[in-house]
Structure 1
Amino acid sequence: MKPSTPRRGSHRAHLTLFLGGFAGLLVLGLSLWMHVQQAAQVRSAAGMALQSVARAAAQALGSGLELSLHEAKVLAAAEDLWAQGLDRPEAGAALARHQSLREGKAWIGVADLQGRVRQATGGLLLGRDVSDRPWFSAGLKGAHVGDVHPAQLLASLLPAPADGETLRFVDFAAPIVVNGRPLGVLGIHGNWAWTARLLDQMLPPAAREAGIELLVYNRHGELIQSPGGLRSGGRDKQISPAGLQALSGQGPQVSRWADGLERLSVVLPLSNPALAETLGWQVVARQDLAQADAALAAGTRQVLTVGLLISALAAAAIGWMSGHLTEPLRQIAAVASRIEAGALALPMPQFPKGSRELDELARALDSMKRRLFGLHQAMEAQVLERTQALERANAELAHLSQTDPLTQLLNRRGLEPRLQQALVLTHRHRGALCLLLIDIDHFKRVNDLHGHTVGDRVLLALADQLRSGFRAADIVARLGGEEFLVVLTDNGTHRAQRIAQALVDSVAQRDFPEVKRVTLSIGVAGTDAVGFDAEALIHAADQALYEAKRGGRNRVACFPLPAGPVRSEAGSEATSAGPDPLPATQALDPRRDA
């Protein structure tokens, strides 16, 4: 008679299968809970990064368009530049000087009321008829910004882009009106390649590594700017106008693109409401979900791997257990349910007086719980670290937007809030404050004779002298080109004039490498003579700078100016001082970018 199979072995197999499955379900439940929690945190951090990048790009693009339109209106409104006719050589020199102040202007020209080009930078299109161009007809009616379009008349006159892309422009125009009588239209063709460089600067290295892309679409949903150029725009960059409109201003959203892939996207209009309404452009920051969730996927795989390993170890330990474990298992199940509900710090019950197998099971489950809790904390720390890295990147973006890239001095955007704060404090304490508006004399000759590299060295040398020569409480900024501005706190006009003269003498005696001698003209204006309005102060300093130029350069002039005309209505005074300074209506605009 064959012996019957012991029931103990069957009981152990069933017990091992049951408790091993229970441990696996526990690991799965904990993993799913942690996945849900971490998915929300990781997706939120990725969305914040996209929102920050899109907002910075929309503000930079809107500010650049607004600045170019303002420059067109300022040039067109300079009545004393156009009062004696559109063909004056002084007007052409002013256009050329304005084109050199900031990159991105491919062409600046003036057409009369019949659409005939009368002035143009580089002599391009002189005498040509532009009456059928949209910028001319729109510019007759008022200030105008046009949509991006391929170059037409200038396509064969300007060098083609090095990347093989089509030469494209954004047009800015404003009417020229003198004494209420229209004379013509001033037009600026902005090179669209400027936008690619601008958006490239908006992406910090961390954002590029995360796969974040910046795109720009027009109101018809057509792609007008892509990181790799328009030739790289495939189906993965196509989206319907309705889809763009639905996403605009809604924060981070998961959207399906024409290639069938889902991406985390943020769509924002231009920061200037008027330009956003006129052009209808939308700035898109997007990131593939696979890259946005990369940290989550890696953490989840690690949690599952460790959990499954611990489950296997727990199942092996359970296989060696025997006896009736109903009560200890009930206790373990109760604690496991509370852990699954979120009480991760709750310890597993221990059974030092029970069977060795039961004690091993409790310890293994407690070890698994501690490992999973540790991984949960590590993933939270990783999310916190990435959030802090994005905050540091945003702070770096803010610093770059307020700093002149060549001299590392403040630019105009960084100067404005500091000047306003200094004026408020000076007014509150009934003190005095002065501006020194500094211009390097004949700087264009330095660039023409020695090249722009030597010109940059001269600017750097002067910036270093200004940075080290003034107090920490004073403010030093580069306004653009060869123009600098120093804010002297706690100084009246007379003392500021002496400081300015000392600076003029010091620079004139200095030996600059390759250039040898460089001179300065400085305009001084103070609150004791002008008041506490920033725009009025800068305008007065610009008037004084003009007087210093008119008086022969290498000197200081102080506002209020000596009795007698400084700028005549017809511009006759301006012709006696050599190369043309800006006329009164072109006084320094405090919003002009550096």
Structure 2
Amino acid sequence: MPEFEWGASPAVADCDSLLELMRQAPEIVQWRTDALGRLVATNAAAMAADGPAAPWQIGLMLGELAAPADAAWLMALLAQPPSHHGPRLLNLLDACGHPYTVRGVVDVGPSGLTLSGVCTVRHEALLRDELVRRNNELSTVTRELARQGFALERTVRELQLRNDELAQANAEIDRLARTDPLTGLLNRRALEDELAREIERTRRHPAPLSVVEFDLDHFKRINDVWGHATGDRALVQVCRLLLAGIRRVDVAIRLGGEELLLVLPQTAIGAAMCIAERLREAVARLDIEGLPEHVTASVGVAALTRGESAESLLRRADQAMYRAKAAGRNRVVRAVGKARAGSAGLARGLPPTDPAAPTARAPGG
């Protein structure tokens, strides 16, 4: 603690209790009077060049140090027994006679008054400076938070963009994994999911479901004689024709090579036979660039029966297609099995489906 700087009369200079009370406090104004109300001591803060008091004020009466009302109140306290008063605002006079306000407390003792307080002007200035400093700090923090908020928002947008790009890339990867690159049809990998979905839907909401399997006749010979580029063009044109001839809810799949499959939801066996025959005739009329002959297809049609698996349904369609091959190709054959017999195939002059018909494919497809 800094030592108290005295501007005091000799009568009280050796008072240890006063030294303890009046030690230096930069923002605290401290006065000590005698029993008559005469200023006998003050501290350095009060005697600072810009402070309210000066050394020559030692010995002045309270009436010369305070505004009249406050001087009268202080003088009245001298007549009271030892007591403590305040805090309250006191209007005092500085060394130049200018008024200033102190918020302080007054202790009455047998030897006089002790006034301790804070000069409100000085205190308010300190508070104002502190408020400015805090506001500046707050502004700095606010600007930094805003900057970080903008940076975070930008990062979130970039992350969302990356997530969207990743989702698109994953969707494209999934599409490529499920799509035949030559024809654009779904591939065999997608068949299991698509057919399982349709069978499950049929079981939840009973409705017919049929599949139609196409196999292009003598396709190996077309590749060998006219070249694989011509064979690819023929396959692509056939696939486009099939897609143009079915509904949006139907599914077209390339099983591999020249084998194609249509999944026809809500389509009974009779309607599926009609669709298959119409498409077979359209395939036979196709003109393929670079191919001087027409392409034909052998077609097998099967309808889902109660409790039948996807594997069984495909097997019966495949067997029907083999029978079409064995019967001379370029025709539609209805599968046998649990499906109810109908007359659609016979009405078109097609050979009856025979369970004993050969299932091995003829050479050359």
Same fold (TM over 0.5): yes
CA deviation string 1:44-99 (max 9, x = no partner): xxxxxxxxxxxxxxxxxxxxxxxxxxxxxxxxxxxxxxxxxxxxxxxxxxxxxxxx
CA deviation string 1:268-304 (max 9, x = no partner): xxxxxxxxxxxxxxxxxxxxxxxxxxxxxxxxxxxxx
Secondary structure, aligned partner of 1:515: coil
Residue type at the aligned position of 1:391:
A
Deviation at 1:558, TM superposition (A): 1.1
Secondary structure, aligned partner of 2:183: coil
Residue type at the aligned position of 1:367:
R
| Inter-CA distance 564–382: structure 2 relative to 1 (3 Å threshold) | closer
Secondary structure, aligned partner of 2:181: coil
Q: Determine the C-alpha separation between the residues in 1 that align with 2:150 and 2:275.
A: 64
Match of residue 330 from structure 2: 554
Q: Determine the C-alpha separation between the residues in 2 that align with 1:554 and 1:474.
A: 23
Preserved CA contact (<8 Å) 1:332 1:362 = no
CA deviation string 1:359-417 (max 9, x = no partner): 6x764554344223322322232223222322221122122211111111111222222
Deviation at 1:578, TM superposition (A): 3.9
What are the ranges of 5 or more consecutive residues in structure 1 without an aligned counterpart?
1-323, 334-348, 351-358, 568-572, 582-594
1:565 to 345, 348, 356: 356
| Inter-CA distance 329–419: structure 2 relative to 1 (3 Å threshold) | farther
Residue type at the aligned position of 1:409:
L
Match of residue 429 from structure 1: 205
Deviation at 1:332, TM superposition (A): 8.0
Alignment partner of 1:523 is 2:300: yes
Higher RCO (CA < 8 A, seq sep 6+): 1
| Inter-CA distance 429–326: structure 2 relative to 1 (3 Å threshold) | same
TM-score normalized with structure 1 length: 0.35
Q: Determine the C-alpha separation between the residues in 1 that align with 2:163 and 2:128.
A: 44
TM-score normalized with structure 2 length: 0.56
Tell which structure's C-alpha radius of gyration is larger. Answer: 2
Match of residue 400 from structure 1: 176
Match of residue 466 from structure 1: 242
Residue type at the aligned position of 1:526:
A
Match of residue 491 from structure 1: 267
Secondary structure, aligned partner of 2:248: coil
Match of residue 579 from structure 1: 363
Residue type at the aligned position of 1:566:
A
Map 1:25-44 → 2, pairs under 5 A = none
Q: Determine the C-alpha separation between the residues in 2 that align with 1:506 and 1:365.
A: 76
| Inter-CA distance 417–332: structure 2 relative to 1 (3 Å threshold) | farther
Deviation at 1:580, TM superposition (A): 6.7
Aligned-CA RMSD value: 2.9
Q: Determine the C-alpha separation between the residues in 2 that align with 1:330 and 1:376.
A: 32
Preserved CA contact (<8 Å) 1:427 1:532 = no
What are the ranges of 5 or more consecutive residues in structure 2 without an aligned counterpart?
1-123, 337-351
Map 1:3-402 → 2, pairs under 5 A = 327=127, 350=135, 363=139, 366-402=142-178
Secondary structure, aligned partner of 2:264: strand
Secondary structure, aligned partner of 1:510: coil
1:418 to 163, 170, 194: 194
**Count of residues in Structure 1 that have an aligned counterpart in Structure 2:** 227
| Inter-CA distance 419–332: structure 2 relative to 1 (3 Å threshold) | farther
| Inter-CA distance 540–332: structure 2 relative to 1 (3 Å threshold) | farther
Q: Determine the C-alpha separation between the residues in 2 that align with 1:564 and 1:472.
A: 34
Deviation at 1:450, TM superposition (A): 2.2
Residue type at the aligned position of 1:485:
L
| Inter-CA distance 329–394: structure 2 relative to 1 (3 Å threshold) | farther
Alignment partner of 1:450 is 2:241: no
Secondary structure, aligned partner of 1:513: coil
| Inter-CA distance 548–375: structure 2 relative to 1 (3 Å threshold) | same
Deviation at 1:566, TM superposition (A): 2.1
Preserved CA contact (<8 Å) 1:411 1:477 = yes
Match of residue 441 from structure 1: 217
Identity across the alignment (%): 37
Residue type at the aligned position of 2:363:
P
| Inter-CA distance 368–484: structure 2 relative to 1 (3 Å threshold) | same
Between structures 1 and 2, the one with greater helix share: 1
| Inter-CA distance 564–544: structure 2 relative to 1 (3 Å threshold) | closer
Deviation at 1:495, TM superposition (A): 2.4
Deviation at 1:564, TM superposition (A): 5.8
| Inter-CA distance 428–327: structure 2 relative to 1 (3 Å threshold) | same
